[in-house]
Chains A and B, each alone.
Chain A
Amino acid sequence: MQRQTYIMTCDLCRELLTDYIHGELDAARDAAIHGHIQSCVDCRNEWQAEVELTESIRSAMGEERELPMAVVVGVRHAMRGQAAPGMLEKLRAALRPAILGPAAAAVLLVIGIVRYDQAQHATSALSSSYFVRQHVAQTIGSPSNDRAWDAYLLTSANANTADVVSP
């Protein structure tokens, strides 16, 4: 099996940082950025600032954070902005609101409804092992608590929804 590998530069890292924070990258690029910010102080600071900004926006948005965040991400991408648009791009941009506006609004409305519905009908429950891991992770500072490594070094339960189970 051939694996895709990336040579990560600071420029590329920062370009992909938002997608990285939102878990939207494929595994190879995600790993490449993760590895890069472990060793690059500047990019790690950039990453930390992005995370904090994201969290502050989430806090401000309260329950409906998912929808605004999608917008924020889009705005960020736009702000990182590419070179000044040419004539063709300007023409497309001029037409875009008229063509895509209603469709985008409909998509956003549907997403919003789904999110709202999910928020109102939370059907998931946390698992017992989730609580045990959280407890152990937070008490690792106590030398008396051997089981600290249980939570701290867990693996498979990290990046999936193993902590959340259907009713």
Chain B
Amino acid sequence: MSFRLSGLFSRCAIIVAALMAAAAPAFGASTALDGLSLLTQAVAADDRVSFSGTVTSVVYDRESANATVVRIDHLAPHSWRLWFVAPADAYGRLILSNESVAYQYEPKTGKVFSNDWGLLAPGIDAALDLGRVQQNYAIQVGAETSVAGHKVLTLSLVSNFSDALVQRLWIDEVTKVVLQREAYHADGTIASKTTFDNIKYVKSLPEELFRLTVPAGMTLVRGAAYGKSTTDVATLAANAKFKVVAPKSLPNGFSLQKASTETRDGVETVQLIYSDGLRTFSLFENATARLPKFEGAAPKSISVGGQAGQYALLSGQSILSWNAGKLNLTMVGDVGPKELARIGAALRP
């Protein structure tokens, strides 16, 4: 079930973040904006622009694709309401968020899951590291076109190292809201697509739409718990019950961003998070020397520095796992499995 849900939310996720990667001030049509300026405005747009619309998102896995349709109402700067229209098994799901707390209403189970956004996602307020993006990517402004009846400019983000197209954004010329977004795998194939089928910009929306309340007949329960991340990786590693190892080499442009640790069912897992500004991957380590159980499609075999590893594509993310010594090492991210295996080969517990 978790796999099913995971995929499902993945789809919805794309929807929302397309909005979150939304645009800035509504100050008239753009004039000769350079790529960086346009991106800068796009990532801050949702703080200024309120809207209602319908978004369709598709996440492409290796052998399948999952689509989700969500009705989204956003009241700037921080209120969100997502109403799931499709697929059928998600119909009726409602998510309300004020970017501090989010309630997820599950009518089928009569539960409301409460998640502390601030606690679970310490980086939510962090601005996009535009310096890093600029360092690692060419930001190219393309031709004018239209999405959902609005004039947009296209923005292509191309790796400075591999020349691979990593993302394309379609940004409303007036509001700077991202109206469409596509992400691509390293081999050029599409990984996900999110697009507004329709969108209407509004001055305001009723506050009641976004009020976090628990209806009669539903029970409020706590949502997921995650380890709190820290940039003090050295201290975190020193406190771990096993020796934490780090890759000796990284792909161009990537560096260690932060780390976290969590204990689940008695298993302490350390997570190291790397990023190049747009793409991210995590390295998980625990002392179980046990591969995770892969849900859904059967994993494929791959050698990781001479060790037998397994990889799969799950919810648009590559996941690669292998054992080395007493450790289980698992990598997850929007980086191809072969590239992950190359990084993993440099790990020596």
Interface readout for B253-288 with A: 1 if CB under 8 Å, 0 if not?
000001010101111010101010111111010101
A149 near B222: Cβ-Cβ < 8 Å = no
A side interface size, CB within 8 A? 53
Q: Is B33 an interface residue (CB 8 A)?
A: no
Q: Complex formed: what's the CA distance from A35 to B112 in Å?
A: 11
A126 near B104: Cβ-Cβ < 8 Å = no
CB-contacts of A111-167 with B (<8 A)? 118-119, 122, 124-159, 161-165, 167
Q: Complex formed: what's the CA distance from A100 to B119 in Å?
A: 43
A128 near B312: Cβ-Cβ < 8 Å = yes
Min CB–CB distance A31 → chain B (angstroms): 5
**A–B Cβ pairs within 8 angstroms, 11 of them:** A34-B220, A124-B265, A125-B293, A136-B13, A142-B280, A146-B15, A147-B14, A147-B59, A152-B117, A156-B106, A158-B221
Q: How many A-B residue pairs have CB under 8 A?
A: 245
Q: Is A38 an interface residue (CB 8 A)?
A: yes
A141 near B121: Cβ-Cβ < 8 Å = yes
Min CB–CB distance B235 → chain A (angstroms): 13
Q: Is B295 an interface residue (CB 8 A)?
A: yes
Contacts of B117 in A (CB 8 A): 152
Given contacts A132-B332, A139-B273, A141-B122, contact A150 B315 (CB under 8 A): yes
Min CB–CB distance A108 → chain B (angstroms): 19
Q: Is A40 an interface residue (CB 8 A)?
A: no
Given contacts A28-B219, A31-B221, A34-B222, 5 further A-B contacts (CB under 8 A): A38-B101, A122-B290, A135-B282, A140-B124, A145-B334
B17 near A125: Cβ-Cβ < 8 Å = no
Q: Complex formed: what's the CA distance from A143 to B278 in Å?
A: 8
A135 near B21: Cβ-Cβ < 8 Å = no
Q: Is B131 an interface residue (CB 8 A)?
A: no
**Residues in B lying within 8 Å of A, measured CB to CB:** 1-3, 5-6, 9-10, 12-18, 20-21, 43, 57, 59, 95, 101-102, 104, 106, 109, 111, 113-115, 117, 120-126, 128, 167, 181, 183, 192, 194, 214, 217, 219-227, 229, 258, 260, 262, 264-267, 269, 271, 273, 275, 277-282, 284, 286, 288, 290-295, 299, 312, 314-317, 319, 321, 330, 332-334
Contacts of A118 in B (CB 8 A): 266
Given contacts A122-B266, A138-B260, A159-B221, contact A132 B6 (CB under 8 A): yes
B2 near A157: Cβ-Cβ < 8 Å = yes
Q: Complex formed: what's the CA distance from A129 to B284 in Å?
A: 13
Q: Complex formed: what's the CA distance from A2 to B102 in Å?
A: 27
Identify which of B18, B57, B293, B332 contacts A135 (C-beta below 8 A).
B332
* Nearest-CB residue, chain A, relative to B121: A140
A164 near B5: Cβ-Cβ < 8 Å = no
Contacts of A34 in B (CB 8 A): 114, 220-222
Min CB–CB distance A30 → chain B (angstroms): 7
Contacts of A159 in B (CB 8 A): 221-222
Q: Complex formed: what's the CA distance from A50 to B205 in Å?
A: 40
B113 near A155: Cβ-Cβ < 8 Å = yes
* Nearest-CB residue, chain A, relative to B14: A146
B17 near A148: Cβ-Cβ < 8 Å = yes
Contacts of A137 in B (CB 8 A): 120-121, 224, 226
Contacts of B273 in A (CB 8 A): 135, 138-139
* Nearest-CB residue, chain B, relative to A62: B241
Contacts of A28 in B (CB 8 A): 219
Contacts of A131 in B (CB 8 A): 282, 284, 292, 319, 321, 330, 332
B221 near A27: Cβ-Cβ < 8 Å = yes
A132 near B315: Cβ-Cβ < 8 Å = yes
Given contacts A129-B295, A134-B282, A146-B181, contact A154 B265 (CB under 8 A): no
Q: Is A3 an interface residue (CB 8 A)?
A: yes
Contacts of B6 in A (CB 8 A): 129, 132-133, 150, 154, 157
A157 near B123: Cβ-Cβ < 8 Å = no
Contacts of A130 in B (CB 8 A): 2, 264, 292
Min CB–CB distance A167 → chain B (angstroms): 8
Min CB–CB distance A8 → chain B (angstroms): 12
Most buried by B among A118, A124, A135, A162: A135
Q: Complex formed: what's the CA distance from A167 to B316 in Å?
A: 25
CB-contacts of A31-86 with B (<8 A)? 31, 34-35, 38
Contacts of B266 in A (CB 8 A): 118-119, 122, 124
Contacts of B269 in A (CB 8 A): 126, 134
Identify which of B122, B281, B293 contacts A128 (C-beta below 8 A).
B293
Min CB–CB distance B81 → chain A (angstroms): 13
B14 near A125: Cβ-Cβ < 8 Å = no
Given contacts A132-B314, A132-B317, A134-B282, contact A35 B258 (CB under 8 A): no
